Amino acid sequence: MAPRDLEPRHPAEPGEPGPRGPRDWDEVPAELAFADDGSAPDGPSRWERRRRVIRFTVIVALVAMLAPIVLSTVSVAQSSAARSCAVIVSAYDRDAAGSHVALELFGPGGAGWICYADASGEPRPVANLGLLPGAPPRVLGPDEVSS
């Protein structure tokens, strides 16, 4: 004969004590059940508030992680564009007093850093350097420029 602990046990009926005490898992916890009159509770539940707080925290964390990367990329692109523009303007527009760049979404040649030559009081677009400008194209030296 098998020991008593190894004998198969039949499940208890709801409300009857089972092998490990009363079986009450058929009852719905209060926070998951509606009010006694059958209507939904007023206002957000504890879990909805927690979900909103977690969602807000995740969004703030993502912005905090991505903001320095975006700002650094824009800063490096602006300084690269300014240096490239200065080289291009000095080589191709001898009458220019200076140069500047601007990030334009709908500029000539599409989105990107537009190089302007400052000459005779009005800036003239010289080149579109792209969104992430690099070194300027090979610039002809003073001996190579055709007069």
Tell me, rounded to whole angstroms, the distance of Cα 102 from its chain centroid.
24
Distance CA 136, CA 147 (A): 22
In the prediction, which pLDDT does 123 show?
84
The residue among 145, 144, 141, 88 whose CA lies nearest residue 114 is 88
Q: What is the pTM of this model?
A: 0.56
Length of the chain: 147
- The pLDDT tens digits along the chain (147 residues) read 555 555 455 555 555 555 554 445 556 666 666 555 556 656 667 788 899 999 999 999 999 999 999 999 999 999 999 999 998 888 887 778 889 899 998 877 888 999 888 887 788 888 888 888 887 766 555 555 555
Pairing of strands 98-104, 21-22: unpaired
3-state secondary structure of 66: helix
Pairing of strands 122-128, 112-119: antiparallel
